[in-house]
């Protein structure tokens, strides 16, 4: 185990150093298995936060060539997280995803393959962000406006 590897995994997952060390030991240093262990741990943490109130957040507006407009609301527990770069990036990426893939509802959005990395779903990105921030985060709603369509 090198410090560089631990730092890399911490940046990727937001997991604590001891949690990363434990996952590395559990997976015998196999990086793919370590990521899977950390992902499972992050999902468990997200489930524990499900009862919390997410009353802060942001609305992201995105316009694609002036023909498609999207508004997406993503909520979190604190204003501190809402102002963070990771949260802002996720919210913007959700707006891009909605413009590109036009999901029917939030559940469909979370199940879709992420347009920038098809090996992940939007839900996977959300779980990673929840694990990294330690807060409940939800995509609340979105609306799409397309020129010439009602």
Spans of all domains in the chain: 3-48, 56-146
Taking CA atoms, 121 is separated from 19, 24, 63, in Å, by: 24, 24, 22
Measuring CA to CA, which residue among 111, 118, 72, 124 is closest to residue 93? 72
Residues 11-55: tens digit of each pLDDT? 777 677 777 788 888 887 777 887 777 777 765 565 566 667 788
Query: Does residue 63 carry a pLDDT above 80?
Result: yes
The residues pairing with 69 across neighbouring beta strands, listed in sequence order, are 63, 145
| Average pLDDT of span 78-89 | 94
| CATH number of 56-146, picked from 3.30.479.20, 1.20.1440.230, 3.90.650.10, 3.40.50.300 | 3.30.479.20
Rounded to the nearest 5 percent, the helix, strand and coil shares of the chain are 50, 25, 25
Query: Phi and psi for 135 in degrees, rounded to 5?
Result: -125, 160
- The answer to which of 64-73, 82-91, 141-150 has the lowest mean pLDDT is 141-150
Distance CA 19, CA 12 (A): 13
**Does 69 score more than 80 pLDDT?**
yes
Class for the domain spanning 3-48: mainly alpha
Say if residue 105's pLDDT is above 70: yes
What is residue 14's predicted lDDT score, i.e. its pLDDT?
67
């Amino acid at each position: 185990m090198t410090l560089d590897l631990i730092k890399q995994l911490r940046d990727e997952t937001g997991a604590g150093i001891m949690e990363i060390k434990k996952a590395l030991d559990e997976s015998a240093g196999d990086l793919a298995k370590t990521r899977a262990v950390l992902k499972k741990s992050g999902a468990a943490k997200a489930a524990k936060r499900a009862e919390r109130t997410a009353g802060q957040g942001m609305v992201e507006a995105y316009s694609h060539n002036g023909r498609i407009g999207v508004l997406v609301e993503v909520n979190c527990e604190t204003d501190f997280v809402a102002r963070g770069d990771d949260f802002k990036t996720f919210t913007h990426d959700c707006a891009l995803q909605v413009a590109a893939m036009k999901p029917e509802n939030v559940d469909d959005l979370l199940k879709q393959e992420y347009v920038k990395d098809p090996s992940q779903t939007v839900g996977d990105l959300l779980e990673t962000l929840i694990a990294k921030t330690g807060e409940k985060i939800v995509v609340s709603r979105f609306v799409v406006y397309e020129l010439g369509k009602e």
